[in-house]
Amino acid sequence: MDQSAVRNFCIIAHIDHGKSTLADRILEATGAVSEREMTEQVLDQMDLERERGITIKLKAVRLEYTSKNGAKYLFNLIDTPGHVDFSYEVSRSLAACEGALLVIDATQGIEAQTLATAYMAMEHNLVLIPVINKIDLPSADPKRVMQEIEDVLGLDPSGALLVSAKTGQGVREVLEAIVDRVPPPAGRPDGPARALIFDSHFDSYRGVIAYVRVVDGALTKGMRIRMMATNKEFEITELGVFRPSMVNVDFLGAGEVGFIAAGMRDVKDCHVGDTITSAQFPADTPLPGYKRLKPMVYCGLYPSENSDYDNLRQALEKLQLNDSALVFEPETSAALGFGFRCGFLGLLHMEVVQERLEREYDLDLVTTAPNVTYRIVATDGSEIEVDNPAKWPNASRIAAVKEPFVRVSVITPKDYVGAIMDIFEEKRGIYKEMSYINPERVFIVYDAPLSEIIVDFFDMVKSRTRGYASVDYEFDSYRESDLVKLDILLNGRPVDALSVIIHRDKAQAKGRALVNKLSKVIPRQLFDVPIQAAIGSRVIARETIKAKRKDVLAKCYGGDVTRKRKLLEKQKEGKKRMKQLGRVEVPQDAFMAILKVDGDE
């Protein structure tokens, strides 16, 4: 098809504003999916996505559309994740598009992620089409939302479309707007081939499947290609498009979106962000890639059973094939044995990975509390990065400690401004600015340490604003902070996996809360177990778990030994799920206790 008839676009939105429902309607309206096939939210395939109502992996779908003027068009709809953790993946899909539908809930208005993703789309020079969704709801207020579009985003509100993705109202107009307003791809069809890899997944039969946006030239079946970053060459064995199932084609021309398979057995052969060119007639320069995003949050992942170590490694490797943001390296904990230090884009990303490991790979995991990467300036002037509290240097060797700060944007009804400010106060936030989006809603910006944001910040915002405030954040800079390492001693022995890095002013309270929490989650043992919190050699909090007093089966009814054995077997099974630290048996969730201590007080 002629390049002028191609439209590449994505849908961006704040979570729950109706992105997936609109995508479903578009798929239906273009006949890509029959209504019979239409399970709700076709693009969100993973169980986890469906359960949590979020989109994690982006997908691309090719659609055919005949416009009102009778002309045929080829749409490529590239789905994007809707959560702040995955903004990196959003930026990747933006790079493959010329336009974006900016979906805004008519009852909610602009939220923090609406802003963040809209700005990101503008940076990529995408044409933005504002779509005001959910206009069928009684509380919809499209006029107010249009005012916000003008005031906050600086976009012409007259171009906004009024839609109900639920009822289908206005969807036809969306499709026409895509035809009229999204520009066709601008690449050179006759130039040397250049295609951007914007995502990939691993197929155990075909190897790496690269999702590509052809910018210049064309890709054809059997063509020898070269990866411009690695200079590795392959032959395209398969070429196709998503409709939304994979359909093979012989040719992908400039401006088109699809997938290729080329016998790439190693995921490292196919960097997301790399440019594919022809081996025979290579292009001179690659397309602008993406800067590789560094993980923001780290935690230790350990198999409950040491024998599962290899299974965990294999599962992580497999997940990494489809999730380039996940990083991991082996580490050893005195308490937990052999495991991995894993890096994630954010807390949700971490939870999603943990859940997938447990659900899809049937692994039983012990997870340590998440932490950020610190930069430590040593007394000799050298600087090291520490992503694991267990590797914290001795205090005498530390000249200064820097921690990552993020810029946090909050949009909230004005009644909750005080509540939001209180939260930032607790979270060591630094006030930056505040402005009124409209007389009812306020835009607030703070800088805050990432370490504070990853521990129940989102839950606090949600509960103290009854869910009305929205949050987005982005990395800002490393800044010096007065941080100390808080150790937990169990029965007199430090437990490396329980150490946390904390601001000196908060150490006392945290130590007390943590010790108290642990004394509740660790069951009574056969002897008294002291739990202490210490900074260096100074103990700042202490509790004792009193020895267990009773655990007995009083009676064997009429010689029913079998039943008694079964009860003992059950008890033995329960113990298996505990980690043995010295002589103390610790349940696995104790290692996550740190995450929950603030909420309990």
Partner 1 sequence: MTCGDSVDYCGLYIHIPFCLRKCSYCDFASYKVDSYDTSRYCDAVVREIELIFFGDDRVCGHGDSLFAAGAAGLVPDTVYIGGGTPTVLPVDQLAKVIKAAKRATMCSGRLDRDIELTVEANPGTLTAEYLLTLRELGVNRLSIGLQSTSDKYLSMLGRVHSYRDFVESYRLAALAGFQNISVDLIYGLPGQSLEEWREDLTKVTELAIPHVSCYSLTLCEGTPMFDNVTAGRLKEPPEDLVADMYFEAVSTLTKSGYSHYEISNYALPGMECRHNLGYWENRYYIGIGAAAHSHLKGFRCANTADVGKYIDRIEAGVLGPEYVESISRRRELSDSFILGLRTAAGVDIEELSRRFSPEAVAEFTRSIEEFADVGLVEFANGRVRLTERGMILSNEVMAKLL
Residue span binding partner 1 (CB under 8 A) among the ranges 325-333, 347-355, 399-407, 569-577: 569-577
Residue with smaller CB distance to partner 1, 36 or 549: 549
Residue with smaller CB distance to partner 1, 329 or 560: 560
CA distance readout (Å), 315 to 85, 311, 341, 403, 442? 21, 6, 14, 31, 44
Q: Are 424 and 448 in contact (CB under 8 A)?
A: yes
Shortest approach of partner 1 to residue 530 CB, angstroms? 16
Residue with smaller CB distance to partner 1, 166 or 564: 564
Pairing between β-strand 483-490 and β-strand 470-481 as defined by DSSP bridges: unpaired
Tokens encoding 124 = 């990529």
Kindly state whether residue 550 participates in binding partner 1, applying the rule CB under 8 A.
Answer: yes
Kindly state whether residue 291 participates in binding partner 1, applying the rule CB under 8 A.
Answer: no
Shortest approach of partner 1 to residue 529 CB, angstroms? 12
Kindly state whether residue 156 participates in binding partner 1, applying the rule CB under 8 A.
Answer: no
Shortest approach of partner 1 to residue 581 CB, angstroms? 15
Task: Please tell me the distance from the alpha carbon of residue 476 to that of residue 318, in angstroms, as a whole number.
Answer: 32
Kindly state whether residue 564 participates in binding partner 1, applying the rule CB under 8 A.
Answer: yes
Tokens 């430090």 identify what position? 494
Shortest approach of partner 1 to residue 555 CB, angstroms? 5
Kindly state whether residue 557 participates in binding partner 1, applying the rule CB under 8 A.
Answer: yes
CA distance readout (Å), 196 to 8, 93, 97, 227, 290? 14, 10, 11, 10, 10
Kindly state whether residue 68 participates in binding partner 1, applying the rule CB under 8 A.
Answer: no
Kindly state whether residue 72 participates in binding partner 1, applying the rule CB under 8 A.
Answer: no
Burial class (CB in 10 A: 0-12, 13-18, 19+), 590: buried
Kindly state whether residue 580 participates in binding partner 1, applying the rule CB under 8 A.
Answer: no
Shortest approach of partner 1 to residue 548 CB, angstroms? 7
Tokens encoding 546 = 């009193």
Kindly state whether residue 575 participates in binding partner 1, applying the rule CB under 8 A.
Answer: yes
Among 571, 580, 599, 600, binds partner 1 (CB under 8 A): 571
Task: Count residues near partner 1 (CB under 8 A).
Answer: 27
Kindly state whether residue 558 participates in binding partner 1, applying the rule CB under 8 A.
Answer: yes
Residue with smaller CB distance to partner 1, 551 or 601: 551
* Residue environment code for 349-365, b if the CB has 16+ CB neighbours within 10 A, otherwise e: bbbbbbebbeeebebeb
Kindly state whether residue 538 participates in binding partner 1, applying the rule CB under 8 A.
Answer: no
Binding mask 471-510 for partner 1 (x = CB under 8 A): ----------------------------------------
Kindly state whether residue 544 participates in binding partner 1, applying the rule CB under 8 A.
Answer: no
Tokens 């390296």 identify what position? 329
Which residues have a Cβ under 8 Å from the Cβ of 450 and sit 6 or more positions away?
A: 296, 297, 372, 403, 404, 405, 406, 473, 475
Residue with smaller CB distance to partner 1, 41 or 491: 491
Among 68, 188, 359, 565, binds partner 1 (CB under 8 A): 565
Shortest approach of partner 1 to residue 552 CB, angstroms? 5
Tokens 């064997």 identify what position? 556
Burial class (CB in 10 A: 0-12, 13-18, 19+), 216: buried
Shortest approach of partner 1 to residue 568 CB, angstroms? 5
Question: How many CA atoms within 13 Å lie on the side-chain side of 464?
Answer: 17
Kindly state whether residue 552 participates in binding partner 1, applying the rule CB under 8 A.
Answer: yes
Helix, strand and coil in the chain, % to nearest 5 = 30, 35, 35
Shortest approach of partner 1 to residue 571 CB, angstroms? 5
Shortest approach of partner 1 to residue 587 CB, angstroms? 16
Residue span binding partner 1 (CB under 8 A) among the ranges 79-87, 321-329, 421-429, 551-559: 551-559
Residue with smaller CB distance to partner 1, 433 or 573: 573
Kindly state whether residue 526 participates in binding partner 1, applying the rule CB under 8 A.
Answer: yes
Task: Please tell me the distance from the alpha carbon of residue 562 to that of residue 571, in angstroms, as a whole number.
Answer: 14
Task: Please tell me the distance from the alpha carbon of residue 494 to that of residue 496, in angstroms, as a whole number.
Answer: 6
Among 556, 577, 580, 599, binds partner 1 (CB under 8 A): 556
Structural element, H or E, at residue 177: helix 171-181
Which residues have a Cβ under 8 Å from the Cβ of 270 and sit 6 or more positions away?
A: 197, 200, 208, 210, 227, 264
DSSP codes of every residue in 372-397:
--EEEEETTS-EEEESSGGGPPPGGG
Residue with smaller CB distance to partner 1, 307 or 562: 562
Among 123, 560, 589, 600, binds partner 1 (CB under 8 A): 560
Size (the chain), residues: 601
Cite the DSSP H helix spans in 75-126: 87-94, 112-123
Among 125, 285, 396, 562, binds partner 1 (CB under 8 A): 562
Kindly state whether residue 553 participates in binding partner 1, applying the rule CB under 8 A.
Answer: yes
Residue with smaller CB distance to partner 1, 222 or 558: 558
Shortest approach of partner 1 to residue 490 CB, angstroms? 16
Among 505, 568, 599, 600, binds partner 1 (CB under 8 A): 568
Residue with smaller CB distance to partner 1, 68 or 563: 563
Residue type, 306: N
Shortest approach of partner 1 to residue 558 CB, angstroms? 6
Residue with smaller CB distance to partner 1, 395 or 556: 556
Question: Considering only CA atoms, which of 497, 492, 488 is closest in space to residue 336?
Answer: 497
Shortest approach of partner 1 to residue 52 CB, angstroms? 32
CA distance readout (Å), 30 to 6, 20, 63, 270? 14, 15, 6, 32
Residue with smaller CB distance to partner 1, 396 or 562: 562
Pairing between β-strand 297-303 and β-strand 327-333 as defined by DSSP bridges: unpaired
Shortest approach of partner 1 to residue 572 CB, angstroms? 5
Residue with smaller CB distance to partner 1, 222 or 559: 559
First to last CA, the chain: 63
DSSP codes of every residue in 459-521:
HHHHHHTTT--EEEEEEEEEEEE-EEEEEEEETTEE-GGG-EEEEHHHHHHHHHHHHHHHHHH
The footprint of partner 1 (CB under 8 A) covers: 524, 526-527, 546, 548-562, 564-565, 567-569, 571-572, 575
